[in-house]
Each structure stands twice: as structure tokens, then as C-alpha cells.
Amino acid sequence: MTRVRKLHIKSYGCQMNVYDANRMADTLAPIGFVETGMADQADLIILNTCHIREKAAEKVYSELGRMRKIKESAALEERRVVVAVAGCVAQAEGEEIIRRAPVVDLVFGPQNYHRLPDLLNEASRAGKVVDTEFPLEDKFEHLAPPSRRAIQARGVSAFVTVQEGCDKFCTFCVVPYTRGAEISRPVARIVTEVERLADGGVREVTLIGQNVNAYHGEGPDGSPWTLGLLLHRLADVSGIARLRYTTSHPRDVDDALIAAHRDLPALMPQLHLPVQSGSDRILAAMNRRHTRADYLRAIGRFRAARADMAFSADFIVGFPGETEEDFRATLALLDEVGYAGAYSFKYSPRPGTPAAEMAEQVPEPIKGERLARLQAAIDIHQADFNAQCVGRKLDVLLERPGRHPGQLVGRSPYLQPVQVVAPAGLIGEITTVTVTGTGANSLFGTLGPAMPDHGSMMQTAVGV
Ligand code: SAH
Ligand code: SF4
Ligand code: F3S
């Protein structure tokens, strides 16, 4: 019998790291690893890291300080703890991590985790192991569909990686270096995975990729399929009620994707479409390869196909050379699109990227000031969007118990969390909820259609 060992994985960064962490656990389960939430009880600790901004990367080293203490106390009890660093910092820094943090036994990149059992063996024999080679042969070996057993533990909403890597080379970004060249998983593997998820009770699937709408995986007929085609195929999988995809690039919006939004009721009317800046001068310096007008045209096409589309985006402030005028163009774009929400970041120079070498780096205080102004503007748009939902009936996929007894939390079509008093038996169901109010980041609602005369029958969730 295999000895039970405990595994603790901590993920940073994007959804793909969350997905990969699940797959690492799947890979290790057959050799006796069970997951624990407690790092100090684990025999194997994996930090699944993100390199996107300096802060994200530095977090890893402070966390490794904590791991050193855990490893030392375990050693006093003659228990060996293996510490591994995975993800994008692993890919970017490789053995440098072990030099800087000797507590680390194993470093492996985002496309190497299918080899984990062998790497662990090697680490126990050889001491330190680094594996950051991109696979040359079966590029999807790490993305084989998970077993049915592995799927049982998932909730009602799941991520599925359909493409990985990026060929865009925006001048600020590390992803093309840490995730490698753009590759798309074949349709058949994705369909198998989604069917298994549906059998396991999953109702909503979010297709993920660093550049998801550049998807061009091999279809059953041998020709490359677009994301639009793939979405059509997945909408036919029985049990799957909702489809989403993220993250998209404005350049890769094609007719098939627009048609999917027009034709597929299961495809949710919400899209995360990063733009980074509203200034054409900055967009060019970023090598985004689209203009402000191109971006607005793409937004218009989605809205023409589906009038209630809600948009979110990513923005960077303080990119090298950004003037007050450029920044105002970003604020103006925000108003022009009317986003339902957005993420904004201070530009962070990343080693090895062209923008890090550019003259005219923007001083930190100006970045801070612009970020505060942008975030305030985003908050107003988000609050407006949420306020417009009050009084409306929205279909909500109920996902899990809420913070208060008797309460469930679900998602609206526009991805807003919705808190509602409802029986636990409704988890996994899509129900009509009348929105009665808004909180800082969520909506409150009551089950069923609006009943002004009987409003007290189902109380609004309060106090969250
Ligand atoms: N297409 C990718 C983008 C990943 S990075 C995806 O799958 O989401 C997410 C966001 O981080 C980017 O859209 C950008 O806004 C931000 N970002 C990337 N590099 C950055 C940097 N050097 N400094 C600040 N923000 C950055
Ligand atoms: Fe990075 Fe640009 Fe690729 Fe997105 S499109 S992952 S921002 S290089
Ligand atoms: Fe971070 Fe890598 Fe994702 S750098 S954002 S974990 S692709």
C-alpha cells in the first residue's frame, strides 16, 4: 500500500495557476498524497508562483522564509519536508531560486508538473532538482484530461485550460517568456474533460488561456478550430448550462466569436477584454498592436450581437513615457466603454522585457496618484453597473453556502456575486433572483420574481 503523505499547495497569480494546482494534486494523488490546508503538517509544500509584477515575485521569497521555519521544526521531529517552487517564477528564475533560498528542493515550470512523481524521486536521491524545459514532444502531456475521481471534488463551476502561452510580446509582459509560445489543446481532449466535469456535477465551465481567443486547436476533422467553433461544440455537452472564457486579446476577436455570443444562450454576456491604456501612443509603445479605435470597434461588435454585454478590462498606469494627457485618454476610455468593473495596476518593470529598458520611467508617486484616480473612476462605474441591476430579475447559478446561515452565494450572468436566502438543495441550480440591493462587491436578492405585496416572504440578505 502507498504511504499517505500530505500535500500543501499555495497558488498565486492567474486562474491558470489555480487550474494547474488542481492538476498537480491529481498527479500526486495516485502516489498517496492527500491535500492539507496546513503548511506545517505537509510533507510536500508547493508554491505555485506568479512573476507578472515585482510584488508578486517578491512575495515568494518572504513565503519561503516561512517555509524554512516549518522545515526546520519538522527536522527536529525527524520528519522530512520537501519544498517546491512551481509556476512562472520557477520558469523565469530556475536554479537562481535555490541559490537565493536554499530551503527549496525542487523547481519546476508550468509545463512540467506531469513529471512530479519522478521529480520527487529524483529530489530524494539527488537533493536539488530543477526542471524548466518546455516539452518538445507531447506539448499537452501536462494537460491530459483529469480522472473522474479527481473531478468529484470540484464545485459547480470549473476552469478548463484550452490554450497556454502567448506570442504577442507586449513590451511590459513576462508571460511569453514564462508560459512559452502559444499552444492550443486539441478539441477532443477539451470535450472529454468538459463531459467528465458535467458528469461530476459541474454546470459552468470557464475556458482559460493567456490568450484564449487566439485558440486554434485541432478539431475532429483535423483542421484548426476557432474559439467560436469550440464554444458551439461545448454548448452541446449535456449538463453544461453556462460557458465563459478568459482572457481575451482585442486583436483576436473574430466573426465566429461574435456569432457565438449572438447564437449561444449558454455563453454568458460578460467579457474580460484587457486594453491597458486609452492612448494610442502608449498602446503602440506597449506593442499591443491595436489602437483605441480598434478596441472600441471590438466592443461595439459584441454589443451589436448581444445588447446586454458587460465588459471588464485590465489597465496599466505609469507605463514608460505616459503623460498626464495619455492618462486622461485612459480615463476617457473608461467612460466611453462604461465598464462593469476593471483591474488596474501600476506599471512594474520586469527583468528581460523591453519596457524595463525604456527611458522615461514614470516616477513612483505619479504612478500612485494615477492609480488612485483610475481606481476611483472604476469604482464609480462598477457601482453604477450594480445599481442598474437593482429591481431586475437575473438568472443566478447558486454555487455555495454564503457567509450567513441559510444564505447561498451564486453568480449573475454578468459574473457579479449574488447573496440570497435559499435552501442548500438549490446549489448547482440556476434560479431567478430579484435583485434588491447592492453591497461593496456583490448584489443581494430574493428568490423568485418580484413580489412587492409579499416582500417579507423571502427576506433580503443583509449585513454582509
Ligand atoms: N493575457 C493575460 C494577461 C496576463 S497578465 C491574461 O491571461 O490575463 C494580467 C494583467 O497584468 C495584464 O492584463 C496587465 O494589465 C497586467 N500586467 C502585466 N504585466 C505587467 C507589468 N509589468 N506591470 C504591471 N501590470 C502588468
Ligand atoms: Fe502578456 Fe500581452 Fe500576452 Fe497578455 S497579450 S499575456 S499582456 S504579452
Ligand atoms: Fe502570473 Fe504566470 Fe499567470 S506570471 S498571471 S501566474 S501566467
- Average pLDDT, 10 consecutive residues per value, the chain (464 residues): 87 94 93 95 97 94 95 93 97 95 96 92 89 79 68 80 96 96 95 94 96 97 97 98 98 97 98 98 98 98 97 98 98 98 98 96 98 98 97 97 93 97 95 95 84 41 34
**CA 175 / ligand 2 centre spacing (Å):** 6
- How many alpha carbons lie under 13 Å from residue 353 in its C-beta half-sphere? 28
Query: Which of 88, 249, 276, 290 to mutate for ligand 2's pocket (most ligand atoms within 8 Å of CB)?
Result: 249
Interval 193-247: pLDDT, tens: 999 999 999 999 999 999 999 999 999 999 999 999 999 999 999 999 999 999 9
Nearest to 15 by CA among 241, 182, 247: 247
Q: Report CA 372 to chain centroid distance, whole Å.
A: 24
| DSSP-assigned letters across all residues of 432-449 | EEEEEEE-SS-EEEEEBS
- Rounded to whole angstroms, the Cα distance separating 136 from 297 reads 39
Nearest to 128 by CA among 137, 139, 119: 119
Q: What is the pLDDT of residue 152?
A: 57
Query: Which of 50, 53, 166 to mutate for ligand 2's pocket (most ligand atoms within 8 Å of CB)?
Result: 166
Interval 149-204: pLDDT, tens: 666 556 899 999 999 999 999 999 999 999 999 999 999 999 999 999 999 999 99
Cell matching residue 123:
529530489
Q: Is the CB of 16 under 6 A from ligand 3?
A: yes
Q: What is the number of the ligand 3 atom nearest to the C-alpha of 17? A: 6
Q: What is the pLDDT of residue 461?
A: 36
Q: Atom 3 of ligand 1 has which residue's CA nearest to it?
A: 210
Helix residue ranges per DSSP H, 182-226: 187-199
Q: Is the CB of 341 under 6 A from ligand 3?
A: no
In the chain, the domains with their CATH numbers are 5-131 (3.40.50.12160), 145-268 (3.30.750.210), 274-387 (3.30.750.200), 393-461 (2.40.50.140)
Query: Which of 245, 271, 316 to mutate for ligand 1's pocket (most ligand atoms within 8 Å of CB)?
Result: 316
Q: What is the pLDDT of residue 153?
A: 57
Cell matching residue 404:
450567513
How much is the pTM?
Answer: 0.92
- Rounded to whole angstroms, the Cα distance separating 248 from 114 reads 27
Q: What is the pLDDT of residue 448?
A: 74
Task: Supply the angle between the helices 255-263 and 227-235 in degrees, to the nearest 10.
Answer: 20
